[in-house]
Structure 1
Amino acid sequence: MVYQDKATKDTTDQIFDNTHTAWSELQDKLDNWVDSLILNLPNFILAVLVFILFILIANLSAIGINKILRKTKAQHSVRVVAIRIYKAIVILIGFFIALGILDLSTVLTSVLGAAGVLGLAVGLALQGTLTNTFSGVVLSFIPKIQIGDWVETNGFEGFVIDINLRSVTLKTADQNLVSIPNSKIVDNPFKNLSSDDRSIAILECGVGYESDLEFVEKITKQAIEEALPQEKTEKVEFFYKEFGNSSINYEVRFGIKETNAKDELLAKHIAVKAIKKAYNENNINIPFPIRTLDFGKNKFRSETLEIKNRSTS
């Protein structure tokens, strides 16, 4: 019994000694951390101030660089991407300097070494995102698409309001925003209606078989030329295409001023009214489809006699 009490006492003393030792070591570490924090507090404050200073420098200098780039022939999308890359580089330099002030250069080297291996894995996992980023840089330097242009691509059309490192944003005719990944723009055809302010509109119509075709062609060309004056290098082109069910169909092509889809609709609107007015003044008929149903004389007569017999009975 005395032996058990002694063993229990020794165990309790050992636990107390271990607890006291652990607490002493914890206090020493906390004291060291507080001392280190006090000693490094000026460096920490300086590092934060340096980092904030570089952010301010990046933003303020970007304004000046933007003004300089505006004086050059660089397109707007190029200026936007170039300024974003410049700001990222300046802020990254400030971050490295802040780490140097905190004497974390060794840590930074280790982090960069690990980032190389991690970057490979992340690159494989984010192939789509990286493709869009690279495509965004490519798009920014392509003169055939700029912010403010009206383009058609991937089943959408609208004004380009933003080109960033991930997507191209279009504002459609119904005032909605559509974001299309950059890789889709690069890999697929697109139509830029703003690349040239002149375009060709195509309008189709038909006239009756009794019409004088030479006269119809002359009147149609005159109507369009008066309503929509053509440039020196343009002319109204008129082609008869086919003998339709109820009309002789034609296609007329003429130059218009077009920077977006609405311009084409407006030009066709004017052309249709001008052609209709000219046709009315010259008695030119625009026929509509007519369908004749032939039931057969004998069958129709027998059905009529049968109905009469039923009514008599």
Structure 2
Amino acid sequence: MKMKDIDDALALLLDKLEAWGRHLVLMLPNIFVALIILVLTFIIARFIRGWIDKLTARFSHSKALNNLISTILYIAMVMVGFFFALQMLNLDKVVVSLLAGVGIIGLALGFAFQDIAANFISGVIIAIQRPFGVGDMIETNDYFGTIERITLRTIDVRQVTGELVRLPNKMVFENPTTNFSINGVRRIDLDVGISYGEDLERVQRVVIDALQEVKNRVKTRDIEVMYHEFGDSSINFKARFWITYSRQVDYVSAKSDAIIRIKKTFDANDILIPFPIRTLDFGIKGGEKLNEQLQSLNLSIKNGQQLRGSDNS
């Protein structure tokens, strides 16, 4: 009985193999066509990818974005060719199952990696808009420095103190960002105070003359000296001028040079920069002299000491 069961199983297996063999022979033309479709798909996709790389390079200088676009189109064309090949093999149900699986997997990954996706999308938008580039001096999220690298996920900022900060694109995209390098120039506002006894118009002329040869100054723009307040011990003004700007050292050195020039000019023209004045209140009554108050205070101290001595005796 057992031998008969084994023989039946073997016979069934041989029939199955024979049927698969006949089906394979019948499918050989379709398999050959499917292979041709796949080969042509890869060749055409590679050719189109190279053409897209050249085309996008004309409109975008972001290598990461250009590579992303060409890679997405390349994968899309390969997938289309792959689905056509499966249809030639009468595997339509497999195609539907694959599409459904891809949709479910994509949805799950979207929820699991939503922060990464947000950074990625922000990086794509930044690459398209190009609000800044490598080498620009920016300030964002309380960080100030030079951009060293821009990817589709992060932006590397080298702070002026040397630290490297890697900022997610989402943070930069959603928060205010100041680009100091975009125009190539920057204005310096220098606060200065002078004595109340000075001739204000004369001071204006002296300061403007002193700042003519400041380092990196843009000479096509006028120097402005504007008074803006009466201070506690001085009349305060702002000296404003423009400089060429590519690095933070340009700004710092020009500001330092301006301070040196103004101080030397004030010394040469006997213009006083007053020290802050503070008035100390000793509780002096109106009409009484300070020395009288001090004498009264000393007398009170002596009387107090004498009373303590008599109590002790």
Q: Distance between the aligned counterparts of 2:102 and 2:56, measured in 1?
A: 34
What is aligned with 1:290? 277
Partner of 1:301: 295
8 Å Cα contact 2:53-2:70 kept in structure 1 = no
Whether contact under 8 Å (1:169, 1:179) holds in the other structure is: yes
> Which residue identity does 1:169 align to in structure 2?
D
Q: Runs of 5+ in structure 2 lacking a partner?
A: 18-34, 285-289
- Quote the residue 1:134 is aligned against: 121
Residues 247-286 of structure 1 aligned to structure 2 (within 5 Å) = 247-286=234-273
Tell me the matched-pair count: 272
What RMSD over aligned residues (CA atoms) do the two structures have, in Å? Answer: 4.2
The gaps in structure 1 that reach 5 residues or longer are: 1-16, 33-46
* 2:193 paired residue among 206, 210, 227: 206
Separation in 2, partners of 1:87, 1:226: 54
Task: Show CA shifts across 1:39-62 (max 9, x none).
Answer: xxxxxxxx9xx9xxx8xx98xx87
Q: Where do residues 209-220 of structure 1 align in structure 2 (5 Å cutoff)?
A: 209-220=196-207
Q: CA deviation at 1:86?
A: 2.4
Partner Cα separation in structure 2 for residue 160 and residue 115 of structure 1 = 37
Partner Cα distance (2:52, 2:263) in 1:
56
- 1:63-112 per-position Cα deviation (integer Å, ceiling 9, x unaligned): x9878876x4x4543x3321244246547867998999999997675343
Distance (whole Å) between structure 2 residues aligned to residue 239 and residue 162 of structure 1: 41
- Counterparts of residues 234-245 of structure 1 (less than 5 Å): 234-245=221-232
* TM-score of the superposed pair, with normalisation by structure 1: 0.69
Question: After the TM superposition, which residues 96-135 of structure 1 pair with which residues of structure 2 at under 5 Å, given as runs?
Answer: 110-135=97-122
- 2:238 pairs with 1:230: no
Aligned twin of 1:155: 142
Q: Which moved more, 1:249-258 or 1:171-180?
A: 171-180
The answer as to whether partners of 2:196 and 2:234 remain within 8 angstroms in 1 is: yes
In structure 2, what is the Cα distance between the partners aligned to 1:75 and 1:67?
10
Distance 1:66 1:92, change over 3 A: closer
1:281, CA displacement in angstroms? 0.8
- Cα distance in structure 1, aligned partners of 2:118 and 2:185: 34
Q: Could you tell me which of 61, 64, 82 is aligned with 2:66?
A: 82
Residue deviations 1:203-241 (CA, integer Å, cap 9, x gap): 101011121111111111111113244332x11111111
- Residue 5 of structure 1 corresponds to none
* Mapped contact 1:170–1:177 kept (Cα < 8 A): yes
TM-score (ref. length: structure 2):
0.69
Paired residues of 2:64 and 2:152 also in contact (CA < 8 A): no
Q: Structure 1 residues 88, 75: CA separation in 2 closer, same or farther (over 3 Å shift)?
A: closer
8 Å contact 1:168–1:179 — kept in the other structure?
Answer: yes
Q: Report Cα offsets for 1:109-157 as digits up to 9, x if no partner.
A: 5343212023223323433322221111110011321222111112112
1:68/1:117 CA distance change after superposition, 3 Å = closer
Alignment CA distance shift 1:189-1:212 (3 Å): same
